[in-house]
Structure 1
Amino acid sequence: MNVRELKALGVDVNFEKENIHTLTAEGEMLLSLIAAVAENESVTMSENVQWGLRRKYEAGSVKSIPLGKCLGYRKDKHGNLDIVEEEAVIVRRIYQSFLDGMSITEIAADLESEGIRSDQGNTVWSLSSIRKILRNELNKGDFLFQKTYNQDPLTKKRIKNRGELPKYYLEGSHQGIVDPEIWACVQQEIQKQEAYCKAHNITRYHHHNEENPLSSRITCATCGSTFMLLRSKRTGDEGRAYWRCSNFLGKRGKPIEGRTFTPLPRPLTSKVPESSPRRYYREKKRKLPSPRQMLCTDIQVPAKKADKAFMRAWNLIIGHGLRYAASYREMARDGKDELTRYRAGEMARLMEERGRSKEFDYDLSLRVLDHIEVTADGKLAVIFLTGTRVTV
């Protein structure tokens, strides 16, 4: 409880040294003056400290890095960063798991299942902490100074620096936990996933799991939306699983030029026996649908067909292994960016390691498959993470 609250309750506080009584007008005025002077001194001191820190940032002083709790690093007695190898193993694992196709949610669940503790010492991993690890340039041996700053020297509230103050980037400031190329691969993969979500109108990239391995990974070449796995409720066809463009939900299917489509007639719902003359009359007299402009939402892909398309495409690449392997080795050496080179190297390695597959391999799909595109004529084009496109 502060002096103001005590005064509101009618309690007089007597400062003997200054001879101030808070309930008197004179005491109130003197107290306000003293508080103003103290506040000004605090602000001045804070500004001096901040000025000193910024000069250190400009000079690239490693000792001025505000480490806090950071998985994989500790400061020694001289202020230098040292790698804690027991924790660094966890950081490298998180990076590799992400590049192997695991979602942040799956990575967190995997770590929790083994009782591995986070940088805060918790056995429960927040998704934000894993995102921070994946994006933190500290892990590759660099540091960006002044990402946040104190908005108010009195409240000490820190906010993100969105250009209000200059930032200083120091390369090679310390030994990195992960290779700079791996760090760059992860950043490019994050950007790629964000671009995929935007292009295909989805809010989350990792909808797929072992039970539904191709969820959000089948796209419509006509409208760009993803396909949904549905089950038929049609009489006589109940339970059939198939993929359909998700734009059917809002009846926003786009027309496919040069193609027509005739919908199936509605099934007769009458319980009249098949042999009954009444049923025969109904079937003869009912109005059948007329042909119309075909929409992308009219295309249905049997559930197992998509799984088989991926395996056929993979086995086709294995069948032409010499040609594809040579191409991937060249790409791994001369690719346009770190992620392209990494994906090409992994593809060549997995071709040699895995060989042909007889059934759908979820782990393999995470490592090599980008998505499957359904063309206007209903064919399936399998696009791999290397950019290789195989239509089956």
Structure 2
Amino acid sequence: MSNIPTAKNVTVIPALTTAEVRERKFKQIRVAAYCRVSTDHEEQQNSYQVQIAYYTELINSNPEWTLAGIFADEGISGTQTKNRKEFNKMIRRCKQKKIDLVLCKSISRFARNTVDCLEYIRELKLLGIGVMFEKENINTMTMNSEFIISLYGSFAQAESESISKNVTWGVEKSFKEGKVKYSLDKMLGFRRGDDGKPVIVEEEAEIVRYIYKLYLDGLSLKRIARRLRDEGVKKWNGTTDWTSVTVYGILKNEKYAGDAVLQKTYTVDCILHKQVKNNGEKDKYIVYDCHPAIIERDTYNRVQQELARRGSIRKRSDKTETEQGHYASKYALSDILICGECGTAYRRVTWTSHGHKLIVWRCISRLDHGSKYCKNSPSINEEKLQTAIVDALNRVYADGEKLMEEMKRNLMMVMTDKDIAASEIEKMKMRLNEISKARNGLVHLITSGAVDEDSLDRDFEDLINEEKFLKEQISDRKAKSKLSDEKRYHLMSAFEELQKAKFQMTEYDDVTVRKVVECIRVLSKTEVQIIFKGGFEMNVEVDR
């Protein structure tokens, strides 16, 4: 020590007092508070004012803190931060380095969306800014793991989803009670009455009836639209720009039959607030005879059946390169006569030889691609084919009891399948409830400190995977149940049509064939298979 040189001039800097040390250490901590209430109720409004006063006093009373602002969103949903102006303003101040610490009553006040919650906490933490949640006793700057914040964020999101479900429950309850809210602004044939219900505008209603008649007469959507344009028929908005889409919408609209289908769309979840078309994921509710009908129910049902039948033929053969099976309205056989080898529709063709014309039907795949995809499909003489169809229909009508018994058996099978699907769905829903309880139990063990969170990671993962699988299975069962409903409807319609049909055909008729025949499959040059609506099949010989 004696070798160390000594300085000649030394100035002593006096130590600060305890109060001075505290002031210097914390004077740069600029503290802001964020508070929010989600409703406009008077009680909640009082809570809103109380929160502002509370945080103002709390920050000002602490000598280590400097007030950097009170940010409060009033009457704003917490599920999406983009809708909270004050919250976003606070985040901007943080990025501008004007805030060092944020106080918040609870995670549910900060964000009800787990993703947003973690995203902002991580972002602020990188800026050196902590968030203190009073209720959960969490300071994000002192946390070693994000698990607990994710956990609480999940709770907050679940709470928000619960609120959304309560609102949804109220809406569905009104659906079940048959409360219909009508939207008639763009609907041809109706106007809103004094009581809010539809009132028929007869001049426009005649147009709707005309469209239904044309469709049942066999015209395609495209041909109907063209005829309406050519005839100068006006739409609801006074224009004449008819399209097949417009015609289809009128034919599908159940309100023309006096009914209303509720919950055609639904909200995906409370976070996105996005509405999507209900394709069977949620229950739909049909309110029958809730307003005057423009179209008779029998006519409406026959149109729906015909729409489904025409739609079912729009299927592409695995062996063809283009969409061949579109509906052709001029001839009934154009969309029900198909190749037994490749599944492609047949097309009407005129052969001319030595001045003589012969009408035949040929596989479209053979016509367009030769034998590349379909090697053995025969050509069928139209007159002989029509004669075979007439003979088959007369045999069926003469022995209608056999066909009706077949329909009854098919109907019972469809109803049984639907009952089985409903039972399976109920069991899977019960298991989902058990999974929810098990997950809550694991959460309780972790939050109480009874076990380490890492030891339960596998259990959490197994429960989440099983939950995902069950939800997919439920969705699949619901889709199959919907198909069963459609099949049952077609069977019932065909059954009723057969009961009404008591006649002998003397010549081929496109209209009758459309009503009772589902499909005709060409097996060979001398044999076809006729499949009637309702599932009954019959093999018929065709003369050479």
Shift in alpha-carbon separation, 1:124–1:105, aligned structure 2, 3 A: same
Q: Which of residues 379, 385, 389 in structure 2 aligns to 1:309?
A: 385
Residue in 1 that maps onto 2:338: 219
> Number of paired residues?
303
Q: CA deviation at 1:217?
A: 3.4
Residue type at the aligned position of 2:509: D
Q: Judge conservation of contact 2:186–2:237 (CA < 8 Å) in 1.
A: yes
Whether the aligned pair in 1 keeps the contact of 2:517 and 2:531 (CA below 8 Å) is yes
Gaps of 5+ in 2: 1-72, 77-82, 85-165, 268-272, 412-487
**Residue of structure 1 in register with 2:363 after alignment:** 245
Mapping 1:15-26, distance limit 5 Å:
none
**Closer, same or farther in 2 for the Cα pair 1:55/1:191, shift >3 Å?**
same
What is the alpha-carbon distance in structure 1 between the residues aligned to residue 277 and residue 241 of structure 2?
Answer: 30
Contact 1:219–1:373 (CA under 8 A) maintained in structure 2: yes
- 1:347 deviates by 5.0
Give the Cα–Cα distance (whole angstroms) in 1 for the partners of residues 408 and 227 of structure 2: 33
Counterpart Cα distance in 2 of 1:176 and 1:122: 26
Higher Cα Rg: structure 1 or 2? 2
The reply to whether residue 171 of structure 1 matches residue 287 of structure 2 is: yes
Q: Are the equivalent residues in 2 in contact too, given 1:331–1:344 (CA < 8 A)?
A: no
Q: How does 1:101-250 map to 2 (within 5 A)?
A: 101-112=218-229, 115-140=232-257, 141-145=259-263, 147=265, 161-162=276-277, 169=285, 171-172=287-288, 174-175=290-291, 177=293, 178=295, 183-198=300-315, 200=317, 202-209=323-330, 214-230=333-349, 242-248=360-366, 249-250=368-369
Relative contact order (C-alpha < 8 Å, sep 6+): which is higher?
1
**Which residue of 2 is the match for residue 338 of structure 1?**
489
Q: 1:356 aligns with which of 506, 510, 518?
A: 506
Using the alignment, how far apart are the partners of 1:322 and 1:230 within structure 2? 33
Shift of the 102–342 alpha-carbon distance from structure 1 to 2, 3 Å rule, reads farther
Equivalent residue number for residue 184 of structure 2: 67
State the partner residue of 2:196. 79
Mapped to 2, the partners of 1:238 and 1:232 lie a distance apart of: 8
Asked if 1:379 corresponds to 2:455, the answer is no
CA pair 122-237 structure 1, distance change in 2 beyond 3 A: same
SS in 1 for 2:334: coil
Aligned partners of 1:330, 1:85: CA distance in 2, in Å?
43
Amino acid of the structure 1 residue aligned with 2:506 = R
Offset, 1:92: 4.4
Give the 3 Å change call, closer, same or farther, for CA 207–366 of structure 1 in structure 2: same
3-state SS of the aligned residue for 1:161? strand
Q: Distance in 2 between matches of 1:52 and 1:241?
A: 63
Instruction: Give the alignment's TM-score, normalised by structure 2.
Output: 0.43
**Aligned pair in 2 of structure 1 residues 334, 189: CA closer, same or farther (>3 Å)?**
farther
Contact 1:53 1:64 in 2 (8 A): no
Give the aligned residue type for 1:161: V
Q: 1:237 to 1:224 in 2, by over 3 A?
A: farther
TM-score of the superposed pair, with normalisation by structure 1: 0.56
Aligned to 1:323: 399
Corresponding residue SS for 1:64: coil
Shift of 1:375: 0.8
1:356 shift after superposition: 0.9
Secondary structure of the 2:208 match is helix
Instruction: Tell me if structure 1 keeps the 8 A contact 2:325–2:344.
Output: no
Secondary structure in structure 2 of the residue aligned to 1:106: helix
Residue 317 of structure 1, CA deviation: 3.4
CA distance in 2, matches of 1:99, 1:327: 28
CA displacement at 1:236 relative to structure 2: 8.7
CA contact (8 A) 2:379 2:525 kept: no
How many Å separate the matches in 2 of 1:172 and 1:185? 17
- Deviation track 1:9-66 (CA, whole Å, cap 9, x = no partner) reads xxxxxxxxxxxxxxxxxxxxxxxxxxxx9xx9xx79xxxxxx9999667534846333
* Post-superposition offset of 1:301: 1.6
Aligned amino acid, residue 391 of structure 1: V
Within 5 Å, which residues of 2 pair with 1:87-98? 87-95=204-212, 97-98=214-215
- Distance across 1 between alignment mates of 2:537 and 2:203: 39
Distance 1:55-1:98 versus aligned 2 partners, 3 A rule: same
CA distance in structure 2 between the aligned counterparts of 1:55 and 1:331, rounded to whole angstroms: 44
Distance 1:71 1:205 in 2: 28
Q: Distance in 2 between matches of 1:105 and 1:227?
A: 20
Cα distance, 1:306–1:351 mapped onto 2, change above 3 Å: farther
Q: Quick check: 1:391 aligned with 2:540? A: yes
Please list every run of 5 or more consecutive structure 1 residues that lacks an aligned counterpart in the other structure: 1-36, 45-50, 150-157, 255-295
